[in-house]
Amino acid sequence: MKKRLKLLFSILFVMIVFSNCQNSNSGDMKDQNKQSVIFLHHSTGKTVWQGGNNFVTKVKGKLGMKSAVEKWFNRYNKENQTSYEIKDLEFPKKQPYGWKNYPFDYYNIWVKNGDQDFYMGEPTLKTLTPEYDLIVLKHCFPVSRIVFDGEVSVDEEIKRFENYKLQYQALKAEMLKYPDTKFLLWTPSALTKESTTPESAEAATSFSKWVAEEWDQSGDNIFIWDFRLLETEGGNFLLPKNSVGPKDSHPSHAFARRVSPLFCKRMVDVLENRGDQESTTGE
Residue 66 pLDDT class (50, 70, 90 cuts): confident
pLDDT at 30: 54
Ramachandran region, residue 233 (left: φ > 0; alpha: ψ -120 to 50; beta: rest)? left
CA distance 224 to 281: 8
pLDDT in tens, 162-196: 999 999 999 999 999 999 999 999 999 999 999 99
CA distance 12 to 142: 60
21-47 pLDDT tens trace: 444 443 444 554 589 999 999 989 899
In the predicted model, what is the mean pLDDT of residues 142-158?
96
Give the integer Cα–Cα distance in Å for 154 and 107.
8
Task: Kindly indicate whether the domain formed by 33-271 is annotated with CATH number 3.30.70.20.
Answer: no
pLDDT at 11: 45
pTM of the predicted structure, to 2 decimals: 0.86
The pLDDT of residue 61 is above 80 = no
Query: Tens digit of pLDDT for each residue in 8-21?
Result: 445 444 444 444 44
pLDDT in tens, 89-119: 999 999 999 999 999 999 999 999 999 999 9
Domain ranges of the chain: 33-271
Interhelix angle 43-50/253-271, rounded to 10 degrees, is 80
What is the arithmetic mean of pLDDT over 240-245?
Answer: 96
CA distances from 166 to 71, 98, 107, 169, 278 (A): 38, 22, 9, 5, 28
Three-state SS at 111: helix
